[in-house]
């Protein structure tokens, strides 16, 4: 309950913390996770000593950086699918937007990819939302799957590997590939072929509508 009006001091503190988190994200995206703390603070344009005002170890900073990226993307998905009621459509829309993310927000995308499979077990970001959507789809009879956790495994692994593919093959049409895979997943989850195709080609809300301060 400590939410007294954020004072200017609070904002200053938050700014330097955010600068560190941003810097950490660029390093993670570049795969350089064993950098010296001094490098991080310099990239953040912050004094070396400031680091320990906010984090007690590099690991702690990196964890915070990943959480931040996951939470931002999760919040964006929530916002963009707010009006949808059909779980199949929510799932499809989230998956398709995430697929588009890899090119539009390469740094965020690479944070996810380089963080690897552990984000599939994270309490933050996309994983809990996908689980929720799959559960909802099963409850309402939209999805027919033997085991929701296995369905989640297929969706999560595919989403990550798709990101990898889109970075490896920069000439490939990302929207086309993402939508095709979305259709395949919907079929796997028991949606009839023609409907799976339709759902995975519906117009999408605009990612850019959000995230004015999104990381690249």
161, 127 contact by CB (below 8 A): no
The span from the CA of 141 to the CA of 184, in Å, is 18
Burial class (CB in 10 A: 0-12, 13-18, 19+), 42: middle
Mark out the alpha helices in 81-173 (DSSP H runs): 87-104, 106-115, 126-139, 148-168
Min separation Cβ 70 and DNA, Å: 24
The smaller minimum CB distance to DNA, of residues 40 and 113, is found at: 40
Looking at 42-50, 80-88, 112-120, 192-200, which segment touches DNA (CB under 7 A)? 42-50
Which 155-214 residues touch a copy of itself, going by CB under 8 A? 156-165, 168-169, 177, 180-181, 184, 187-188
The span from the CA of 174 to the CA of 170, in Å, is 9
The residue within the footprint of DNA, chosen from 30, 38, 139, 157 (CB under 7 A), is 38
Tokens at 76, concatenated: 């964006």
Residue 43: how many other CB atoms lie within 10 Å: 16
Select from a copy of itself, DNA, none the partner in contact with residue 137, using the beta carbon and a kind-dependent cut-off of 5 to 8 Å: none
Which 44-63 residues touch DNA, going by CB under 7 A? 46-50, 52-54, 57-58
| Binding positions for DNA, rule: CB under 7 A | 7-10, 12-13, 15-17, 36-38, 46-50, 52-54, 57-58
| Binding positions for a copy of itself, rule: CB under 8 A | 33-34, 113-114, 116-118, 120-121, 146-147, 149-150, 153-154, 156-165, 168-169, 177, 180-181, 184, 187-188
């Amino acid at each position: 309950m400590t939410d007294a009006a954020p004072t200017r001091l609070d904002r200053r503190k938050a700014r330097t913390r955010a600068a560190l988190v941003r810097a950490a994200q660029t390093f993670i995206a570049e795969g350089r996770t064993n950098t010296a703390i001094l490098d991080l603070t310099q990239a953040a344009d912050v004094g070396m000593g400031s680091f320990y005002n906010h984090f007690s170890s590099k690991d702690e900073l990196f964890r915070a950086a990943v959480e931040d990226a996951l939470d931002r993307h999760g919040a964006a998905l929530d916002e963009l699918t707010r009006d949808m009621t059909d779980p199949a459509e929510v799932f499809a829309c989230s998956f398709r937007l995430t697929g588009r993310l890899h090119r539009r927000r390469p740094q965020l995308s690479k944070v996810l990819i380089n963080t690897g499979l552990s984000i599939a077990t994270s309490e933050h970001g996309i994983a809990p939302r996908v689980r929720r959507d799959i559960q909802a789809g099963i409850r309402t009879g939209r999805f027919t799957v033997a085991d929701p956790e296995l369905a989640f495994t297929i969706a999560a692994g595919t989403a990550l590997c798709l990101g990898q593919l889109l970075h490896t093959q920069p000439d490939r049409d990302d929207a086309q590939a993402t939508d095709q895979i979305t259709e395949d997943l919907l079929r796997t989850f028991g949606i009839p072929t023609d409907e799976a195709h339709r759902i995975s080609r519906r117009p999408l809300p605009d990612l850019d509508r959000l995230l004015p301060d999104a990381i690249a």
